[in-house]
């Protein structure tokens, strides 16, 4: 039972219980005993697979339903009171209409199940930058993942007190059970009945029908980005899809970097980078989300609101990200990976051999299996995941849970471009940096290349699916924050690790060598190196970005640092077309930056 006397919370729990009619209600306390008990129950029911205790202590694997494997953007809604407040990047439904529909679905939806009440803190408990949420869910899988991804504890209720405010998050798998009915391994509702709904004016989240990832772990993208970005816009702080790292030089001076990259651009790899610069050390503070507020000294302070990593498994290997792999050596949850005969886990591009096992659909699998068209059948789903405790990361920073946060020196934006964009350039000033973030771009994936002359995929601040209000207002908020921070605003840079030669070879070695680029940024902050001015921004003077010891031909380096104005003009056309969709909500500063860039390029 609960110890809370918070009447608002007690009333809400009673209201949900009456609507969803569970068999029983359990208040979660985040304890080891609770975690072990729920895992034991899920192993007994066949939902969870206990992994080899010697190879993977206290770790478990799950297989989701094939219809429930990722975020469902088409079923994700921002239900603001006015449609124009949701903006062109969001699906909007009238909140009254959406609540009517979802209340119909919620009626009796937890029949035959346990309703779990999960009090959690996003960010260190009691931090002035943190927020308290309470998730109600009928999924024990959600409870154990929330144990890792957020701070679930009775202490949260203590901080909440009798009249504190919290963000209500309601979730159900949408699969009620009749008496005697056997449960499925992974209960969920069909795609057309799934809803992930956000009510920004009420700081309210309702999710129905999916048990997977960010659709169900409502502290993650739903609260930490969509609702938090809308709150931050109103309250004068920032909720961003950014990693946070500390980079310390040989003299012990610490620099803090927050970086935003669209998916598949090496964000987690950068967050856990192994520096190749002698004497310089990288430590991880967060791999996915940053909440930032101005501190008493006028600088911007950041916390990682999450307590764990919900990482994509395929491609995570000893050569690409040994620290992520080490983070899930024990106490981890794996979803939709291969389980080997000796009860360990495997996925594609893990860098180790696998003779076979049970695939993500829970069927026997070997690596030589082919589909009807002769293509290899993957053992792990491309979006298979590991849930790992941040505290187990070997390079976690000692200040990662500092309630005051860490002061941000540098913002980095980037995308995946095989041509056009050089390895690194610096913004002329903060407003120019905001323009760079607002027009961060990647080339279309291979699946889209058959569409002919496809424009760039432009993803402002890597936030397109996660902005909880009008993206034009969100961009304006960046400019407003820059004005508020003044000369204490972080310096802004843009990187592109993905340039290729005409015959398709990578020009830059990437991975740990990216630390050389970060060092140049830190040297810029300290005024230790100069720059040359180009139409797109400031760039390194030859010899001042250290590439000693790299097998990098002079012509490759020249290509990495080249600014081709003709190619850039094409990018500007793509950006201008994209920005038109924001209409009169597009900040005037963006238009000014665009016009200035056009002038410089001509």
pLDDT tens, position by position, 276-299: 999 999 999 999 999 999 999 999
Chain mean position to CA 336? 19
pLDDT value of position 449: 38
Q: Which domains, and CATH codes, for the chain?
A: 7-48+72-236 (3.40.449.10), 242-287+399-601 (3.90.228.20)
Q: Which two tokens stand for residue 129?
A: 């930058």
pTM of the model: 0.97
Biggest alpha carbon distance in the chain?
Answer: 74
The active-site residue, picked from 265, 492, 522, 575, is 265
Please name which of 109, 133, 139, 103 lies closest in space to residue 121, comparing C-alpha atoms: 133
Is beta strand 60-62 parallel, antiparallel or unpaired with respect to 76-78?
unpaired
Residues with Cβ within 8 Å of 126's Cβ and at least 6 positions away in sequence, in order, are 159, 403
Average pLDDT of the residues of the chain = 96
pLDDT value of position 452: 45
pLDDT value of position 265: 87
Confidence category of residue 454, pLDDT binned at 50, 70, 90: low
- The whole-number average pLDDT for the span 396-424 is 97
What is the Cα–Cα distance from 574 to 593, expressed in whole angstroms? 15
Is beta strand 238-240 parallel, antiparallel or unpaired with respect to 243-248?
unpaired
Confidence category of residue 447, pLDDT binned at 50, 70, 90: very low
What HEC string does 300-352 produce? Answer: EEEECCCCEEEEECCCCCCCCCHHHHHHCCCCCEEECCEECCCCCEECCCCCC
Q: Which two tokens stand for residue 517?
A: 């680029």
Q: What is the pLDDT of residues 227-278, one digit of tens each?
A: 999 999 999 999 999 999 999 999 999 999 999 998 878 899 999 999 999 9
- State the Cα angle at 242 between 433 and 275, rounded to 5°: 95
Query: Any catalytic annotation for residue 575?
Result: no
Q: What is the pLDDT of residues 347-368, one digit of tens each?
A: 999 999 999 999 999 999 999 9
Q: Could you give the percent of the chain with pLDDT greater than 90?
A: 96
What is the Cα–Cα distance from 125 to 151, expressed in whole angstroms? 7
Q: What is the pLDDT of residues 98-116, one digit of tens each?
A: 999 999 999 999 999 999 9
pLDDT value of position 444: 74
Confidence category of residue 448, pLDDT binned at 50, 70, 90: very low
- State the Cα angle at 155 between 154 and 157, rounded to 5°: 70
Q: What is the pLDDT of residues 60-101, one digit of tens each?
A: 999 999 999 999 999 999 999 999 999 999 999 999 999 999
pLDDT value of position 450: 40
């Amino acid at each position: 039972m609960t110890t809370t006397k918070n009447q608002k919370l007690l009333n809400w729990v009673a209201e949900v219980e009456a609507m969803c009619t569970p068999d029983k209600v359990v208040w979660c306390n985040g304890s080891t005993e609770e975690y072990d008990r729920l895992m034991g129950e899920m192993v007994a029911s066949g939902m969870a697979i206990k992994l080899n205790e010697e190879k993977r202590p206290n770790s478990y694997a799950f297989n989701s339903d094939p219809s429930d494997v990722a975020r469902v953007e088409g079923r994700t809604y921002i239900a603001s009171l006015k449609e124009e407040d949701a903006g062109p990047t969001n699906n909007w439904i009238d909140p009254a209409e959406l609540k009517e529909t979802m209340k119909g679905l919620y009626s009796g939806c937890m029949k035959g199940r346990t309703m779990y009440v999960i009090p959690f803190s996003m960010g260190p408990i009691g931090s002035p930058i943190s927020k308290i949420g309470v998730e109600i869910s009928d999924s024990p899988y959600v409870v154990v993942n929330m144990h890792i991804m957020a701070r679930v504890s009775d202490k949260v209720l203590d901080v909440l007190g009798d009249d504190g405010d919290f963000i209500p998050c309601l979730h159900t798998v949408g699969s009620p059970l009749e008496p005697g009915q056997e449960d499925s391994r992974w209960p969920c509702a069909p795609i057309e009945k799934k809803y992930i709904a956000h009510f920004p004016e009420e700081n309210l989240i309702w999710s129905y029908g999916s048990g997977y990832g960010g659709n169900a772990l409502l502290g993650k993208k739903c609260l930490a980005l969509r609702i938090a970005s809308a709150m931050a816009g109103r309250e004068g702080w920032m909720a961003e899809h950014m990693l946070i790292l500390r980079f310390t030089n040989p003299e012990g001076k610490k620099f803090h970097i927050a970086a935003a990259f669209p998916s598949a651009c090496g964000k987690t790899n950068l967050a856990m980078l192994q520096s190749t610069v002698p004497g310089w050390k990288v430590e991880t503070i967060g791999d996915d989300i940053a909440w930032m507020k101005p501190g008493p000294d006028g600088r911007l302070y950041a916390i990682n609101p999450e307590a764990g990593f919900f990482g994509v498994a395929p491609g995570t290997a000893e050569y690409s990200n040994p620290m992520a792999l080490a983070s899930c050596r024990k106490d981890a949850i794996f979803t939709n990976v291969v389980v080997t005969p000796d009860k360990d886990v495997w996925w594609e591009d893990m860098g180790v051999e696998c003779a076979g096992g049970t695939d993500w659909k829970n069927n026997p699998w070997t690596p030589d299996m082919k589909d009807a068209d002769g293509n290899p059948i993957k053992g792990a789903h491309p979006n298979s995941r590991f849930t790992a405790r941040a505290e187990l990361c070997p390079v976690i920073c000692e200040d990662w849970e500092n309630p005051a946060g860490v002061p941000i020196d540098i913002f980095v934006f980037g995308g995946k471009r095989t041509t056009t964009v050089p390895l690194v350039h610096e913004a002329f000033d903060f407003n120019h940096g905001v323009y760079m973030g607002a027009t961060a771009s990647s080339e279309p994936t291979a699946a889209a290349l058959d569409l002919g002359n496809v424009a760039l995929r432009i993803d402002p601040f890597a936030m397109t699916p996660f902005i909880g209000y009008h993206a034009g207002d969100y961009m304006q908020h960046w400019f407003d924050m820059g004005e508020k921070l003044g000369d204490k605003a972080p310096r802004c840079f843009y990187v592109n690790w993905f340039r290729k030669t005409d015959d398709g070879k990578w020009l830059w070695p990437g991975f740990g060598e990216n630390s050389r680029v970060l060092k140049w940024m830190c040297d810029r902050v300290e005024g230790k190196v100069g720059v040359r001015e180009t139409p797109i921004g400031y760039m390194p003077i030859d010899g001042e970005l250290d590439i000693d010891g790299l097998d990098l031909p002079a012509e490759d380096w020249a290509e990495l640092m080249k600014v081709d104005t003709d190619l850039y003009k094409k990018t500007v056309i793509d950006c201008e077309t994209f920005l038109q969709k924001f209409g009169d909500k597009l900040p005037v500063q963006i238009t000014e930056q665009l016009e200035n860039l056009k002038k410089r390029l001509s």
